[in-house]
Amino acid sequence: MRTPESEQRRLRRVEFILAAILVLMKMSVLHGTWGKIQGFDWGSWIEMFHVTHWFRPLAPATLWGATYHPPMSYLIGRLIYPLYPHEVEISQVDSTLAIVVAFFALRYVLRHIGCLWTLPGLWVLYGGISIPVIVSLGVETTYDSWVLGWFMLALAFSVSLFWDAAASKAWWTRTRFTRRLTALGLVLAAGQLNKYNGLLAFGLPFAILLIRRGTRIRVHEVAPPLVAVLIGVVVVLPFYYERNYSHVGQWMPAAMDWQRKDDLVQLRLRRDATPVAFVAHMLRYPLTAPENPQTPVMDSFLHLTWLQTWTKDIWLGAQPEPSLTFSRIYRQLFAYTTLLGTAAFLFRARRMPRNWRDAGWLLLGVTIFYSVLALTFGWKYPLWDWRVFKAKYMTPVVFWVPYATAALFGGGWWSNIRGWFKERLHDLALLALLAFVLINHILPVY
């Protein structure tokens, strides 16, 4: 029977092989979709890319449908463009780079907290990064890929700074600490210069402090994350003021404010007439779904985001078989494991290893806050025909799915299994993970 030490050595080798396979699979998906335009926003991205350059004035926020977005994803594409001057392919390289960055950032996080070379840790990393919406985002012409990239980089720096121990009272005298703190501030700024929902990453260092320190937190420990946030704010504030607030009168405007102004007036009147029923309607999961398995119920937050997590939205075209069959299986299977695993986590959290438990609280908090932000956006802009609840807007949430699934099999009946049978189940779980990675990249949904 394997000892814990021999099992960890084995999982180190397995993880190295999985990392190589995953990177090769990302390159394979990029090669297979090379030059094929896909995604909801590809036209807007290309349009903006043409007029966005380093060190040149940006287009006004209200010029076109997508000019209100910050420019970071286009500017990253501009760094690659001189090497291969083709917009669609550059956008795909841009997106693949973002997902690979997110992968290695999350890998660092799991390694730092001591959960990488465990079966649950492998499922969170490799299972999460292979969920269809993430795979598709890696080759989509969009600015949303870097939402995940910058978020995971911010998470990695936050964990390296605040996970292990409290900051000393003289933290500003530690050169290595202040360098990483400055880097965190710049990453937060980059995320906010990529898309508005980068704002949620500003809460990561505080969330980690709260989870790790709890009531033991001291005033001086809050100062470093405040400094990182201040750096981010100082970097982005002039841009937001000059381009948005001074011209549009809003810090974070959306094209719907002027493109669908009259529609919004009418829809908001209906919303305000029955606000409780409106929120309940957004939160419902319809008992009768559309006949076409690719068609989302656009005014249902749960149905639309869950469908787009696993299945190609019909607006983007037909999803071929056997990919569609796997998507159907995933939607049903992981709906149960996520719900049951969440309940298992809440019920058994105190009996879990501390680092794994704290990682769960962090991922669950991210899930809750992103969901609240999405619902708030739907409340403000109830334009269901524009699919305001897109799964790709909240990609950090998907990692709760493999975490909750792993939590379902942690402790309880699983821990009572011993010997040869448990080793075989362990091997089977690794094979299932490998199959999940390969299937979702060889048969990509999008």
Close Cβ partners of 402 (under 8 Å, ≥ 6 residues apart): 123, 124, 127, 128, 131
- Cα–Cα distance between 434 and 268 in angstroms, integer? 47
Tokens 């693949």, located at residue: 96
Kindly list the distances between the CA atom of residue 123 and the CA atoms of 109, 345, 445, in Å, as whole numbers in the listed order.
14, 16, 20
pLDDT score, position 421 = 66
pLDDT score, position 145 = 95
- The secondary structure of residue 53, as a DSSP letter, is -
Tokens 């090497």, located at residue: 83
- Cα–Cα distance between 106 and 157 in angstroms, integer? 11
pLDDT score, position 419 = 64
CA-derived radius of gyration, the chain: 22
- Cα–Cα distance between 181 and 192 in angstroms, integer? 17
Grouping H, G, I as helix, E, B as strand and the rest as coil, residue 417 is: coil
Domain definitions of the chain by residue range? 260-411
pLDDT per position in the chain (446 positions), as tens? Answer: 455 667 778 889 999 999 999 999 999 999 999 989 888 888 888 988 988 999 998 888 887 777 888 999 999 999 999 988 999 999 999 999 999 999 999 999 999 999 999 999 999 999 999 999 999 999 999 999 999 999 999 999 999 999 987 666 777 768 888 999 999 999 999 999 999 999 999 999 999 999 998 878 777 788 899 999 999 999 999 999 999 898 888 899 888 888 899 999 999 999 999 999 999 999 999 988 788 899 999 999 999 999 999 999 999 999 999 999 999 999 999 999 999 999 999 998 888 899 999 999 999 999 999 999 999 999 999 999 889 999 999 999 999 999 999 988 765 545 555 665 667 888 898 999 999 999 999 987 77
Q: Which residues of 331-368 are buried (b: 16+ CB within 10 A; e: fewer)?
A: beebeebbeebbebbeeeeeebeebbbbbbbbbbbbbe
List strand residue ranges (DSSP E) for 285-434, in order.
Answer: none
Grouping H, G, I as helix, E, B as strand and the rest as coil, residue 230 is: helix
Q: Which amino acid is at 70?
A: P
Candidates 163, 161, 193, 195; CA nearest to 180 is 161
pLDDT score, position 416 = 57
Report pTM.
0.94
Joined tokens for residue 232: 């981010």
pLDDT score, position 336 = 94
List strand residue ranges (DSSP E) for 210-355, in order.
Answer: none
pLDDT score, position 287 = 82
Where would I find the H helices in 54-144?
Answer: 72-80, 87-112, 119-122, 128-129, 132-137
